[in-house]
Amino acid sequence: KAGVTQTPRYLIKTRGQQVTLSCSPISGHRSVSWYQQTPGQGLQFLFEYFSETQRNKGNFPGRFSGRQFSNSRSEMNVSTLELGDSALYLCASSLAGGYLVEQFFGPGTRLTVL
Amino acid sequence: SQQGEEDPQALSIQEGENATMNCSYKTSINNLQWYRQNSGRGLVHLILIRSNEREKHSGRLRVTLDTSKKSSSLLITASRAADTASYFCATVFLGGNEKLTFGTGTRLTIIP
């Protein structure tokens, strides 16, 4: 099976712009989670989607949003970008919702905000 | 914060030696997972250990869990250069929102 794919892999934006990142989970996986990784804050949970519904959300401002489509592909959007949004954004998929089983991570999207 | 803490933050050992990393957490868990990350790339799942388990093995990896001390350790035996990476523990807390909470990570460097 193909692994989790994320597009684009690298992105450069300027402050105030918005960005959309995409994640395609492993075939058959219905849960997709998003994480932000920065040197200062480490790995932080953004949100989880299962069967097109947001099941869980981390402590991020409303500028961060996401959605999941019927084919389980997910997108996350960040509006009004700030310098502090520069990070590696990782998505992970799993067969079932929740975290009682292993998560399969994609390679990440490196976002740089200038 | 519920975030786990890992110890040490960085570890350098000679190839062939064993590497031990520790993870401590603050509240009761459902399970604890270990992940590896190579150089700012995606994470790779290593082992999941449930709260009612005390030890698990996978190849050269051995994970222990002590729920009374709220701690876990990851042992990599006979280390190889390819083991150079950052290692993270992640916990799923009981009674809280179901999400993975990652530790701060240990940066492991294997010296050939």
- pLDDT tens-digit profile, chain A (114 residues): 689 999 999 999 999 999 999 999 999 999 999 999 999 889 999 999 999 999 888 999 999 999 999 999 999 999 999 999 999 999 999 987 666 778 899 999 999 999
Instruction: Quote the pLDDT of residue B42.
Output: 87
Is B94 in CB contact (< 8 Å) with chain A?
Answer: no
Give burial (CB, 10 Å; 0-12/13-18/19+) of A57.
middle
Cβ contact, residue pair A102, B99, below 8 Å: no
Q: Which of A59-90 are b and which e, b meaning 16 or more Cβ less than 10 Å from the residue's Cβ?
A: ebeeebbbebeeebbbbbebeebeeebbbbbb
- Which amino acid, A37? Q
B2, B43, B51, B101: best mutation site toward chain A, by most A Cβ within 10 Å? B43
CB of A5 within 8 Å of a chain B CB? The answer is no
Residue with tokens 């179901």: B98
What number is the average pLDDT over the span B17-26? 95
Query: What residues does A65 pair with on adjacent strands?
Result: A77
Per CB-CB distance under 8 Å, the chain B contacts of A102 are 33, 45, 48
Give the count of beta carbons closer than 10 Å to the beta carbon of residue B108. Answer: 21
Helix (H) or strand (E) holding A6: strand A5-7
Which pLDDT score is estimated for B101? 87
Mutate to test the interface with B, among A99, A100, A101, A103 (most CBs of B within 10 A): A99
Is B45 in contact with B102 (CB distance < 8 Å)? no
Chain A contact for B74 (CB, 8 A cutoff): no
pLDDT interval class at B1 (50, 70, 90): very low
For A103, phi then psi, to 5°, come to -105, 140
* Pick from B31, B43, B97: CB nearest A100: B31
Contacts of B38 in chain A (CB under 8 A): none
